[in-house]
Amino acid sequence: MKAANAALLEAARAASPDSLIAAAFAGGFTTTMLEEIREGARNKASMLERLKASLALVQARAPQQAGAYKAVLQAVGKAAAEGAKEGGFLGIGGTLVSADEKRALEQIEAAIAA
C-alpha cells in the first residue's frame, strides 16, 4: 500500500492544481479509502464495479479529466502490484509481479477500458 499511496501522491502533485486528481488525491489514501480497499480485496467483483462507477462519474461530471483519472487508476494498480516481490529467498529471486497480480491488473484495465 505504501507504493500505491506514493503513486497516488505523485499523480496528485503532477496534476494541475485545479484538476479533479489534485483535489481528490492530494492527501493520498484516506482512512475511508483504505477501508474500502481492504473490503474490495475480499470481493474483487465489487472493487471492479466501484472502479467502473467512479470512472463513469468522472466521465459524466468532468469528461476532459477521464483520461487522467484512468491513468491514475492504472499507475496506482501497477505500483501496488510491483510494491513487493513474490517468492524468492532472503530477497533474492522472486517475481516482481505475480500471476495473480497480472490478472488483477488486466481486470482493472478491462473495467476502465470504456
Other beta carbons less than 10 A from residue 77's beta carbon:
20
Q: What is the pTM of this model?
A: 0.83
pLDDT at residue number 96? 72
pLDDT at residue number 91? 60
Mean pLDDT per 10-residue interval, the chain, length 114 residues: 91 93 92 84 87 95 95 93 69 74 92 84
* Closest C-alpha among 79, 67, 66 to residue 105: 79
Domain parsing of the chain, residue ranges: 2-111
pLDDT at residue number 65? 95
pLDDT at residue number 68? 95
